[in-house]
């Protein structure tokens, strides 16, 4: 049976799978809102976990137990014993006879799985803006040939909601409450033929001459007008919150500069021009609030190149569609650490000690929550000892990471490993926890449990200035 993906938002629980035509699609279920999914009841006990169980149960009743399930979860919910899934991840499957393989995928990884499958996201840095009803979450992602890592993220979640606050301002002018019924009425009006063009023209005029055009009606809802001035004020709030989250996540990154025509600068001037620092090649806007075109224009107006979603993809469904491709085995989630992990080692040759760097884990092999990866040579694990005979206990060992090309190497931490006996040998490895923190693993070949040394969070964005020094 095919795999399915679940994305539990603050308003809708969306379930998607790959259809017979080979493209992701929403699964039709009783009570679902067309194009949205199953409504999540307000104030439901248990919150996200309860909504997940309810949506899963609805799917099983109609279509049976899936062969695989991928759950989209915010990055902040991926730590703990069962990240984003509650204490009993399979509670909703009780009575179904079996539990399918279940995995968790963060929103940025799900979105980039969709884009990588479509061929529109290659190696580079991408900014994924998840613009939802409750919050705007911005993640800076580093994409390599075999891995996607989140290098930084920030979240803006006002008390009255992000997209919800915008809609509430518009509905208030129409005298309607910001509830499910009111939002559907507003969505219907905004989807009318010509509504987007009228809105764009009104906002452009009001921006240039607010005293004259702010009173222009752009929507008529429940017999009352919503004016350009109200939309402009609400849009300003959306843009300000998004700008705050973007600035925090990027931490000084900038849009990639457009290449200048050759005639604008001499070769000498081009050579002297400093390169962009932490340039970002593309921005992706997803989530229900990303449907609002003026907000996207605000983003592109700042110089950010906008990555286009696959043709016909609703931005609110981008994450669950990407997860559906992963569940169907058509896309690699690439949720792996993109760089190699090395340690400083010593080798005795002809009675002389040589310093060298030992590769513990190659680039793209560490997975959050996965098994430890051990240093190998010729397909077999290396046997190491923690220091030469007679060495002082606690000899320092530096742990470093380097990019796949080997051009950039940065230190992570210097550890003091205890020396063992002359005949003691170990396997040396590293593992990555679900929360993104790493541990160096020293596993004895004989009896005894492995010893782990915390490394903290590994660097996820290696970049250099012209002198080759990490910024």
Question: CA 104 to CA 95: how far, in whole Å?
Answer: 23
| Residues 333, 149 contacting (CB under 8 angstroms) | no
Task: Write out the H or E segment, with its range, that includes residue 153.
Answer: strand 148-156
Query: Which residue stretches of the chain have pLDDT < 50?
Result: 44-45, 79-97, 257-278, 389-393, 464-471
124 token code pair: 């580079």
CA distance 296 to 301: 8
3-class SS of residue 332: coil
Task: Report the candidate in 31, 50, 30, 51 with the shortest Cα–Cα distance to residue 40.
Answer: 51
Cα–Cα distance, 303 to 280 (Å, whole number): 11
428 vs 386: CA distance, rounded Å: 10
pLDDT in tens, 126-158: 999 999 999 999 998 888 877 888 888 899 999
Distance CA 56, CA 216 (A): 46
Q: What is the pLDDT of residue 98?
A: 56
Query: Do residues 186 and 171 touch, judged by C-beta distance below 8 A?
Result: yes
Q: b/e per residue, 66-93, with b = 16+ CB within 10 A?
A: bebbbbbbbbeebeeeebbbbeebbbbb
d(CA 215, CA 431): 60
| pLDDT tens-digit map of 71-121 | 998 766 554 434 444 434 444 444 444 567 788 889 999 999 999 999 888
Could you give the 3-state DSSP secondary structure of residue 440?
strand
Q: Single out the residue of 58, 63, 64, 65 nearest to residue 99, CA to CA.
A: 65
Enumerate domains of the chain plus CATH numbers: 1-111+315-334 (3.30.420.40), 163-234 (no CATH), 340-457 (2.60.34)
Structure tokens at 87: 């204490």
Q: What is the pLDDT of residue 445?
A: 86
Do the Cβ atoms of 47 and 86 come closer than 8 Å? Answer: no
Predicted model pTM: 0.79
Burial class of 449 by CB neighbour count within 10 A (0 to 12, 13 to 18, 19+): exposed
- Angle made by CA atoms 121, 71, 290, in degrees to the nearest 5: 50
User: What sign does the dihedral 200-202-203-207 (CA atoms) show?
Assistant: positive
* Half-sphere CA count of 143, side-chain side, radius 13 A: 25
The two tokens of residue 88 are: 């009993």
């Amino acid at each position: 049976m095919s795999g399915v993906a679940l994305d539990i938002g603050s308003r809708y629980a969306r379930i998607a799978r790959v259809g017979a035509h080979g493209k992701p699609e929403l699964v039709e279920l009783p009570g679902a809102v067309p194009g949205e999914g199953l409504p999540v009841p307000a104030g439901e006990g248990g919150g996200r976990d309860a909504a997940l169980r309810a949506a899963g149960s609805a799917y099983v009743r109609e279509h049976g137990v899936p062969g695989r399930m991928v759950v989209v979860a915010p990055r902040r919910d991926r730590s703990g014993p069962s990240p984003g899934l509650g204490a009993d991840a399979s509670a909703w499957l009780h009575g179904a006879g079996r539990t399918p393989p279940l995995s968790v995928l963060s929103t940025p990884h799900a979105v980039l799985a969709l884009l990588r499958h479509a061929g529109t996201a290659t190696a580079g840095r991408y900014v994924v803006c998840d613009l939802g009803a409750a919050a705007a979450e911005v993640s800076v992602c580093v994409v390599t040939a075999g891995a996607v890592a989140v290098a930084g993220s920030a979240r803006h979640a006002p008390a009255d909601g992000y997209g919800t606050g915008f809609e509430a301002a518009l509905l208030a002018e129409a005298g309607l409450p910001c509830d499910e019924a009111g939002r559907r009425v507003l969505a219907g009006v905004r989807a009318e033929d010509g509504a987007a063009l009228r809105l764009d023209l009104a906002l452009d005029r009001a921006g240039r001459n607010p005293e004259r055009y702010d009173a222009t009606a752009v929507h008529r809802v429940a017999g009352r007008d919503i004016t350009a001035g109200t939309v402009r004020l609400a849009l300003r709030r959306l843009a300000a919150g998004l700008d705050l989250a973007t600035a925090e996540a990027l931490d000084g990154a900038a849009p990639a500069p457009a290449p200048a025509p050759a005639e604008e600068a001499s070769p000498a001037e081009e050579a002297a021009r400093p390169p962009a620092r932490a340039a970002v090649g593309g921005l992706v806007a997803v989530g229900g609030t990303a449907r609002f075109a003026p907000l996207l224009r605000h983003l592109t107006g700042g110089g950010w190149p906008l990555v286009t979603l696959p043709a016909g993809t609703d931005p609110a469904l981008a994450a669950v569609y990407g997860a559906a491709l992963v569940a169907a085995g058509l896309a690699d989630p690439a949720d792996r650490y993109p760089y190699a992990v090395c340690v400083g080692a010593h080798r005795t040759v002809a009675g002389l000690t040589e310093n060298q760097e030992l590769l513990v884990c190659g680039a793209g092999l560490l997975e959050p929550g996965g098994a430890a990866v051990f240093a190998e040579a010729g397909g077999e694990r290396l046997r190491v000892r923690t220091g030469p005979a007679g060495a002082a206990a606690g000899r320092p060992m530096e742990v470093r990471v380097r990019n796949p090309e080997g051009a950039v190497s940065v230190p992570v931490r210097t550890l003091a490993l205890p020396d063992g006996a002359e005949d003691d040998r170990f396997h040396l490895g590293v593992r990555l926890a679900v929360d993104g923190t790493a541990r160096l693993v020293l596993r004895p070949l004989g009896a005894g449990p492995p010893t782990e040394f915390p490394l903290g969070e590994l660097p996820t964005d290696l970049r250099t200035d012209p002198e080759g020094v990490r910024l």
